[in-house]
Amino acid sequence: MIRWAFILLLASIALHAQNIEIKGKVTNNDGKAIYGAIVSIESMQIADTTDTSGEYSLVAEISHVNNMSVQGFKQSISFKNSLINLNLTKPSHASIEIFNMNGKLLHKMANSDLSAGAHQFEINRFISAKTMVLVRISIDKHTETFRYTPLTNGYKNIAVKSAPSSTKNRTSKLQATADSLQASALGYKTKKVPINDLKSTIDIILETENNESCTTSKSVQTNVSVSGPHKVTVETNSERGINEGTIYRPVDLGPGKKFPIFVWGNGACSRDGTSNSAALAELASHGYLVISDGTPGGSGSRAMEMSDVLLKYVDWAIAQNRKPCSPYYQ
């Protein structure tokens, strides 16, 4: 009767609620905010999408186990709050190891032969406050791994059992047991970021799925006034396909907006892209991406058919819309 009462005590599980407050911003390599990216903690089924500023916020209340026990045929492991209890029915070799979330060994609390009976170990003195770690407990050939977070906000400490590992001297599997943020967006590589604190700010940078690069446009100084609802900027770009043109566009280009493309060939095939700047800027202020043939203040005239040049500008603009790194990406 006493033996069964002891086992039931070890198997008891207490639950309590804990707040998750993780926020941050998702950008590309150029620092541009990524709109509509999905950020999630898969293990907790929590997700959010980024707004036009690339910001997300994961706020939730979840229940965690703060008393985990593992029953072997003859041995038992109990992890309650910050105390590890080993109940050995025979002399056994035991080890307790603490790893960070990347699988790096931080401390080895025990690695010795223990006599039969009850043994207790206190873990908090080996861990910095609010830092999530992995604790691997081994008795002979039996190994269990726990995630553990010491909290300082009035809640009890948390120990959550992770996937067991039967390979005693390997830590490569430990990282997979940690919670992580996953961020994904169209045109970008999915990225996972380990979580070390459930109340933190985590900014994420996503890389494009391909190796395409984007060339930054240069602003052109012009004195034009417009009447449309959009502010207008005039630019040039050295990228092939547009390097011989001048761009007039709304300042507020951004994801989720649609702007028609308007290409302009100057009279007499002139190659001055700003010779009609007032009219073209006015058109752009009403929601058009305008490309004029010729560079600002350019001289001379075209010796080839204008239609071929203008079609190249259209092709360039369409290609930009497929490149998330481009400021013209919609």
Which of 21-25, 125-129, 177-181, 239-243 shows the lowest per-residue confidence on average (mean pLDDT)?
A: 177-181
User: What is the average pLDDT value for the chain, to the nearest integer?
Assistant: 77
Residue 43 has pLDDT above 70, yes or no: no
CATH number for the 218-320 domain, one of 3.90.1150.10, 3.40.50.200, 3.40.50.1820, 3.30.750.200? 3.40.50.1820
Residue 173 has pLDDT above 60, yes or no: no
pLDDT on residue 301: 85
Please state the rounded mean pLDDT for residues 116-134. Answer: 77
pLDDT on residue 74: 55
Per the structure block, which two tokens stand in for 314? 């259209």
Of 77, 57, 53, which is closest to residue 67 (Cα–Cα)? Answer: 77
Q: Which residues contact 33 (CB under 8 A, 6 or more apart)?
A: 25, 26, 27, 50, 52, 53, 54, 55
- Burial class, 319, CB count within 10 angstroms (exposed 0-12 / middle 13-18 / buried 19+): middle
Strands 289-293 and 261-264: parallel
pLDDT on residue 255: 67
256-287: buried (b, 16+ CB within 10 Å) or exposed (e) per residue?
eeebeebbbbbeebbbbbbbbbeebbbbbbeb
Amino acid letter, 90: K
Q: Which residues contact 8 (CB under 8 A, 6 or more apart)?
A: none
Of 116, 163, 159, 170, which is closest to residue 144 (Cα–Cα)? Answer: 163
pLDDT on residue 263: 94
Q: CA 252, CA 231: separation in Å to the nearest integer?
A: 8
pLDDT on residue 154: 41
Q: How far apart are the first and last CA of the chain?
A: 71
Per the structure block, which two tokens stand in for 271? 């190659």
pLDDT on residue 126: 76
Q: CA 317, CA 290: separation in Å to the nearest integer?
A: 10
283-328 pLDDT per residue, tens: 999 999 999 999 999 998 887 677 888 988 988 888 787 677 788 8
DSSP for 140-183, please give it.
TTEEEEEEEE---SSSPPEEEE------TT--TTTGGGS-EEEE
pLDDT on residue 212: 64
Please state the rounded mean pLDDT for residues 117-123. Answer: 86
Q: CA 312, CA 326: separation in Å to the nearest integer?
A: 17
130-165 pLDDT per residue, tens: 566 778 888 888 887 777 766 544 434 444 454 444
Residue 169 has pLDDT above 60, yes or no: no
183-232 pLDDT per residue, tens: 988 768 899 988 877 788 999 999 877 656 788 899 998 888 999 999 99
Of 277, 281, 274, 289, which is closest to residue 320 (Cα–Cα)? Answer: 289
pLDDT on residue 32: 86
Amino acid letter, 164: P
Of 156, 16, 7, which is closest to residue 78 (Cα–Cα)? Answer: 7
Residue 233 has pLDDT above 90, yes or no: yes
Please state the rounded mean pLDDT for residues 84-96. Answer: 87
Tokens 């067991």, located at residue: 164
**Percentage of residues of the chain with pLDDT beyond 90:** 24
Q: How many residues does the chain have?
A: 330
Residue boundaries of the structural domains of the chain: 1-210, 218-320
Tell me which H or E stretch contains 314: helix 306-320
pLDDT class for 24, splitting at 50, 70, 90?
A: very high
How many degrees, rounded to 5, is the angle at CA 168 between CA 73 and CA 42? 90
pLDDT on residue 151: 56
